[in-house]
Chains A and B, each alone.
Chain A
């Protein structure tokens, strides 16, 4: 069964009605109502208050579905169910990449941070592949992930990179937690969180330590004739590509080069280079596997400390405070996090 769609109703059902449906509806209705409450920001901070809700809305463990849009666009995306949890691999490589990438992302959050899916209530992870024609993008639409095949001149298919998949799923997680505004510094933090956990999904899958990882986002996504190794570099923001057609990677590494712009919702994909680099520096100084300690500090910061309007300075003090709580005052970890934010000019 496909996800239930109530097209167009999303914005007009008042929250008290959604709450009723979440409490008394059939399981699929509860799931839908909870998602709507969450995407409208009503659940944030009320996770424990919602403990009375029946658990039927959560399916329990890992539950993935992949739909094929067959090159149609549309909002919400529409497609045919082609693979669900436990099904054998498809002949379609994009389907399998979306399925496996969602699995690796689920596993990082579940195994390391004890989080049960996007909403921490076992929400189904739904992916749509082959969206639109030559579509050079992937996005999170508030409920599911959507992937284009790329134009094959500049971009290859967007499911190709496991960090892209981790990036999109993390947008979902952020929506259910800090719900960072998607503009200016909160938006750049939102983007950075997606790059951080996208990269950690890749590093954990490849069993790479912080020192060994490439810290690139979207390596292999650019076609071979394009001069660039990836779309972003957390290790050296601004160096991922330089190409006559694409121009140069515009990311700054420090506040000195912060880009003021109205494009890209206030440069959310540009200034994310600054918190990205801070995470990289912290992970390198702490050493070992980046997802174990640095990742945990960032995860708890995002889950418990950040709010929708949080800026870079607040992210810095939140992560330093989490590092202190987890590893002790003046611990190596706390110092590493503080040094990192200082190095990028946020503190």
Chain B
């Protein structure tokens, strides 16, 4: 399984993205990721989760999941984010932050 996140928008308009391969994770982390993906039933989420009245300068997230030939992409705006999707996004953003830190020390 491969999961990727791209956060765009926000006042700064700076895009942050990262991709996580399940096989590169520790067993504990892999299980955690698997659990979060199943919890939100990711493959059956609507492709667009947006608010009817968008709030200026909010973040926009694009999540992509690839697993055994299946692929699903979900675009979600910050103000419309369902509670149950928050842990997965938070976890992926933390991964993105760590990846950035790695870049900084290169």
Residues of A participating in the B interface, judged by any CB pair closer than 8 Å: 11, 39-40, 75, 136-142, 155, 158, 164, 167-168, 171, 182-183, 190-191, 194, 218, 221, 231-232, 244-247, 250, 262-265, 268-270
Within the complex, what minimum Cβ distance (angstroms) separates B95 from chain A? 15
Q: Across the interface, do B55 and A139 meet the contact criterion of CB distance under 8 Å?
A: yes
A137 B103 Cβ-Cβ under 8 A: no
Contact B54 A270 (CB under 8 A): no
Decide if A39 touches B53 in the complex (CB within 8 Å): yes
Cβ–Cβ contact A167 & B9, under 8 A = no
- CB of B103 to closest CB in A, whole Å: 6
Is there an interface contact between A142 and B13, defined as CB atoms closer than 8 Å?
no
> B106 to chain A: which residues have CB within 8 Å?
244
Do A158 and B54 have beta carbons less than 8 Å apart? no
One of B11, B14, B52, B62 near A139 (C-beta < 8 A):
B11
Q: Are B13 and A264 in contact (CB under 8 A)?
A: yes
User: How far is B20's CA from A98's CA once the two chains are assembled, in angstroms?
Assistant: 39
**Interfacial chain A residues near B54, Cβ < 8 Å:** 182-183, 265
Q: Which residues of A contact B104 (CB under 8 A)?
A: 244-245
**Residues of A close to B79: CB separation below 8 A:** 75, 141
- Pair A245/B103 contact, Cβ less than 8 Å: yes
Contact indicator A264/B15 (Cβ below 8 Å): yes
Known: A263-B8, A264-B8, A265-B9. A137 touches B57 (CB 8 A): yes
Asked if A231 contacts B12 (CB within 8 A), the reply is: yes
Q: Are A136 and B12 in contact (CB under 8 A)?
A: yes
Task: List 4 extra interface pairs beyond A141-B55, A264-B13, CB under 8 A.
Answer: A137-B10, A167-B11, A218-B12, A269-B10
Most buried by B among A75, A268, A269: A269
Does residue B100 face the partner (Cβ distance < 8 Å to A)?
yes
B58 interface residue per 8 A CB criterion: yes
B72 to chain A, nearest CB (A): 16
The 9 closest A-B pairs by CB, nearest first: A269-B13, A263-B8, A139-B57, A264-B8, A171-B56, A264-B9, A182-B54, A137-B10, A141-B55
- The distance from the CB of B82 to the nearest CB of chain A, in whole angstroms, is 12
Chain B, residues 84-106, CB within 8 Å of chain A (1/0): the string is: 00000000000000001001101
Q: Does B22 contact A (CB under 8 A)?
A: no
CB-based nearest B residue for A39: B53
Q: B61 — nearest CB in chain A belongs to which residue?
A: A263
Q: How far is the CB of B46 from chain A (nearest CB, A)?
A: 16
Q: Given B11, B13, B56, B59, which contacts A182 in the complex, CB threshold below 8 Å?
A: B56
B15 touches A263 (CB 8 A): yes
Candidate in A164, A262, A264 with the most chain B CB atoms within 10 angstroms: A264
Is B52 touching A158 in the complex (CB atoms < 8 A)?
A: no
Contact of A142 among B9, B15, B55 (CB under 8 A): B55
**Could you write out 11 A-B pairs with CB less than 8 Å apart?**
A137-B57, A138-B57, A168-B57, A194-B56, A218-B12, A231-B13, A231-B14, A247-B15, A262-B75, A265-B9, A265-B60
Max chain A CB contacts within 10 Å: which of B9, B15, B79? B9
Residues of A close to B57: CB separation below 8 A: 137-140, 167-168, 171
Closest-by-CB residue of A relative to B13 is A269
Query: A101 to nearest B CB, angstroms?
Result: 14
- Which residue of the partner chain, among B12, B13, B56, B59, contacts A140 with CB atoms under 8 Å? B56
- The interface residues of chain A lying within 8 Å CB-to-CB of B103 are 244-245
Question: Are B58 and A11 closer than 8 Å at their CB atoms?
Answer: no
Taken together as a complex, chains A and B put the C-alpha atoms of A61 and B11 apart, in Å, by: 28
